[in-house]
Amino acid sequence: MSKVINLSKHAEKLEHTYLEYMTAFWNEYDLYWELSNGGFELWTVYINAGNKIQKSDIKTLAAAANLVIIEYNKERILVEGFETFSDHISLLSQFYDLEIHEINQMSVKLKASTLKVSFDPIKLAWDDEVDEDDDFMDDDDFNHLDEDTTKNTSFMMTKKCNLHVTITLNEDTNTDKDSLIDEIKNIVSSNKPDIFPLNLYSINSDADIITFSIDCPLAFMVVFIEIMQTQYRITPDFLVIRDLDENAFEPDNHYSSFMHYYRDMLTDDIEDDAELNNYLKKYATLSDQERRAQNINAREDDECAALDLFDLPHDESVKKAEEILKTNPHNIESQVLIAGWQGDLEKRIDMLLKAANITNLDYDYIRIQKDKMWWKASHTRPFMRAKYLLSKTYEIGGYIDDAIDLYNELIDMNHEDNLGARLELIRLLYKIDDRKAISTLVNKYPEENDEFFSFAAVYFTFMKYGKSSKTEKKIKASIASNHYLAGTIAKLDTDIFGIFFETPEDIDEKMYNLNEKYADDILPLFKNSELFKYYRKIVKELLDMIDE
């Protein structure tokens, strides 16, 4: 079917002008038949997405459409010998006499439109009817690509989140830091608000790293990453902090329930664990009225009252938290709540620093620290929670040393580590490859069965005892913690372990996902050839026993 249409009757239509601009480019490079069809499709997409067409935007829209088509087909175009397209963005800029940022800005709108109407990107593909003998990419390949690209499109468009984005410049990056910051601002400012409602917070930079926080649909980040990859050869990392209608620091039910249950406890004069346990037993037998009567000084603006505010919408919860702080300026949960609604990560850190400032506590924290009564005394828990949240936020922001220091503080304050600081700490220690610190932490928690602990225990036991019953015991424990990860290390198929141990389906799926997530961090411990051989030997022996 011919794609040539008679435009003479539609000389005044904007569509006519767009088509002329779009097809002129492909005619220039003798690729009209192979690639122009995508431009026809994208016009319809742009209109159906509800965009209002301005005459002044037509040429830019045509250039942006061809940019999207080239990006989808670039590998094929280069395989076909069109080396001119190696720097396709400059090629388009020269052909259309437009600035690169103008084309990029319009391409953001166009890509947003494809997501909004669930456009099938296969329609942009090189037309193989022109060259039926070419098997560059078959239908199954395209269908797979399309499935990965468009899966959950509706979810991506509607899922609006607060994100923290990190961009690390490398030797392949073809721009400088200041220019890239300007481009980020251009991409956000050029966005059509009814497609991608955005709120960009301050952009920070240090050395070769750029960071910023942004409120946006997840779909925008997909488009943003594509632009960064295709135009600047960098891949941003991002973390979802929270859904926009949720507080980032909303407490879990267990924490809230405990705080409400023990809000009226009088534990300040308790000297040791035995006295505390006796008190808890007695307290558990009291009625609600008796508990309240026991502490007649319990305030309505205490930490529990602030915890109740997390169930309220943003504006209402913040207003009431601010009211509490007027009468009790050191109320920690109120400060944490307000910080949890803050979209800018750097400001969130400042707020948590204030909440976790030990000099603001209105109880004898020096004695509590001396007796290691943190967390055991219920009124200390908001402070510890604030420190834990600050640690996590430091980690998200890339302040790894600060995060490590705080996690260590939390463990020192409460060896039982009810908050799980050890689990976060060991992951960071793996990241920086501090094996001495990993060894110390593993020895503190010898019964911990988390993957990072279990596989580290194998490594350090082997380093100390070599091939021994002690090491074999640790290897078996590591298999139990995650048999998929054990299989990755031993280079063996360990699926049968899941059947043998009768692992529930949801736990098995979690193990599989954690294997993919953690393998790159844990595998370096097993570079020692003797350890690898021994580990593989034990795993294989266990597999053979099950097969028998």
In the predicted model, is pLDDT for residue 97 greater than 80? yes
Average pLDDT in the 284-307 region? 69
User: Which residues does residue 217 pair with via DSSP β-bridges, in sequence order?
Assistant: 160
Strands laid side by side in the 237-243 sheet: 199-206, 209-217, 160-168, 237-243
Q: Are 103 and 89 in contact (CB under 8 A)?
A: yes
In the predicted model, is pLDDT for residue 234 greater than 60? yes
Q: Are 351 and 400 in contact (CB under 8 A)?
A: no
How far is it, in rounded angstroms, from Cα 180 to Cα 410? 39
List of domains in the chain: 8-146 (no CATH), 154-243 (3.30.70.240), 253-263+298-433 (1.25.40.10), 450-547 (no CATH)
> pTM (2 decimals)?
0.73
How far is it, in rounded angstroms, from Cα 204 to Cα 127? 44
**What is the structure's pLDDT at 115?**
79
In the predicted model, is pLDDT for residue 384 greater than 80? yes
Q: Is 241 helix (H, G, I), strand (E, B) or coil?
A: strand
Identify the residue with better confidence: 72 or 455: 455
Of 15-24, 85-94, 470-479, 494-503, which gets the smallest average pLDDT? Answer: 494-503
**What is the structure's pLDDT at 143?**
40
**What is the structure's pLDDT at 156?**
66
**What is the structure's pLDDT at 502?**
81
**What is the structure's pLDDT at 267?**
61
Q: What confidence tier does 239 reach under pLDDT thresholds 50, 70, 90?
A: very high
In the predicted model, is pLDDT for residue 280 greater than 60? yes
How far is it, in rounded angstroms, from Cα 482 to Cα 465? 23
In the predicted model, is pLDDT for residue 195 greater than 90? no
Per-residue pLDDT tens over the stretch 498-524: 888 788 888 888 888 888 889 999 999
In the predicted model, is pLDDT for residue 7 greater than 60? no
Q: What is the mean pLDDT of the chain?
A: 85
Tell me the C-alpha to C-alpha distance, in Å, between residue 240 and each of 35, 163, 248, 528.
Answer: 37, 5, 10, 37
Three-state DSSP string of 500-516: HCCCCHHHHHHHHHHHH
Helices 37-48 and 58-79: crossing angle, nearest 10°?
140
Three-state DSSP string of 282-351: HHHCCCHHHHHHHCCCCCCCCHHHHHHHHHCCHHHHHHHHHHHHHHCCCCHHHHHHHHHCCCCHHHHHHH
Q: Apex CA 490: angle with CA 485 and CA 493, to 5°?
A: 75
Tell me the C-alpha to C-alpha distance, in Å, between residue 64 and each of 42, 69, 446.
Answer: 10, 9, 58
Long-range pairs, 425-433, Cβ under 8 A, ≥24? 426/450, 426/452, 426/453, 426/456, 427/452, 427/521, 428/395, 428/400, 428/403, 428/404, 429/404, 430/521, 430/522, 431/400, 431/521, 432/400, 432/404, 433/524
**What is the structure's pLDDT at 293?**
65
How far is it, in rounded angstroms, from Cα 107 to Cα 60? 9
Of 182-196, 228-242, 341-355, 381-395, which gets the smallest average pLDDT? Answer: 182-196
Highest mean pLDDT among 34-43, 47-56, 275-284: 34-43
Report which secondary-structure segment, H or E, holds 454: helix 451-465
In the predicted model, is pLDDT for residue 426 greater than 60? yes
Average pLDDT in the 31-57 region? 87
**Length in residues, the chain:** 548
Q: Which residue, among 87, 15, 116, 99, has the nearest Cα to 63 in the 3D structure? A: 99
The alpha carbon of residue 162 and the mean position of all alpha carbons in its chain are separated, in whole angstroms, by: 10
How far is it, in rounded angstroms, from Cα 97 to Cα 392? 48
Average pLDDT in the 419-440 region? 95
Q: Which residue, among 131, 110, 126, has the nearest Cα to 70 in the 3D structure? A: 126
